Amino acid sequence: MATNDGATYIPPGVFLHKTMPIAAVFNEDFDARWFGWVNPADKVVRAARSLGEEVSAVATSWALPSEYLTGDPVPEMAVGVAPSGVDSLASQLSRDRSHRLKTVDPALYAAVKDADPSVMRKYCRELLRRLVFGDEAEGVSAVAQAVGRALVAGNWPAREEWAALRAEYDKAHLLAGTQRPGLDGLENPAQIVSYVKYFVEARRMEALLCWEQHGGDLANVVYAAWVCGIRLTLNDFVLQ
């Protein structure tokens, strides 16, 4: 399975079937090269073929044709497939489906799931501190800093701050979509750099918003930090 956000980024509240691997985290060079590639069908077929697998069929919600798959087709292909909607099976975490954090780091998800709630909150506050105020955090908006400062301190942001952050997130999410590489069918490293900037900005805000949304599932905060490149295991945090 692939998406055209990041290296197969999965939105919060979407739970993949456990038999469905993602087209990412098996090769760093592959992830970097096809990060945010606009046509997910291209990415998933390239991933499978790079692993020596034969692809017999592919389906995508992306409606435009693929130059890559036109030149090197698969036996069956469906484009412009309509999404199932919010009431689909993928909207519920069950025994047969995986949390998005588990798709990228199963060990971290297992640790997070079993963690004491108070330890988990402290751990997520440290992730936010690194995301919003760390050495590599550049261009963080005043709104994101205000919300981050409150959460890191163990306080709850004002209603107006949450509303302002949601508005900024919506804007960043839209801007990231306009910067996806591959819109012209060509690889362009400079375009990836531009896209990564907006993608990370959106995920940083998502990490903050996940404290307020999605049932308070802080594993979503951990995932958002993970896809931004924050690598801190729960065990390492506890031992600090």
Per cent of the chain over pLDDT 90 is: 87
How high is the pLDDT of residue 138?
85
DSSP structure string for 127-163: HHHHHHHSTT--S--HHHHHHHHHHHTT----HHHHH
- Rounded to two decimals, the pTM is 0.94
d(CA 203, CA 180): 15
Residue 85 has pLDDT above 80, yes or no: no
Pairing of the two strands 76-78 and 57-59: parallel
d(CA 158, CA 36): 33
Contacts of 9 (CB under 8 A, 6+ apart): 3, 199, 203, 227
d(CA 196, CA 190): 10
- Span 151-164, average pLDDT: 97
How high is the pLDDT of residue 64?
86
> Beta partners for 58?
77
Task: Evaluate whether 207 touches 225 at the Cβ level (below 8 Å).
Answer: yes
- Residue ranges of domains in the chain: 16-91, 100-239
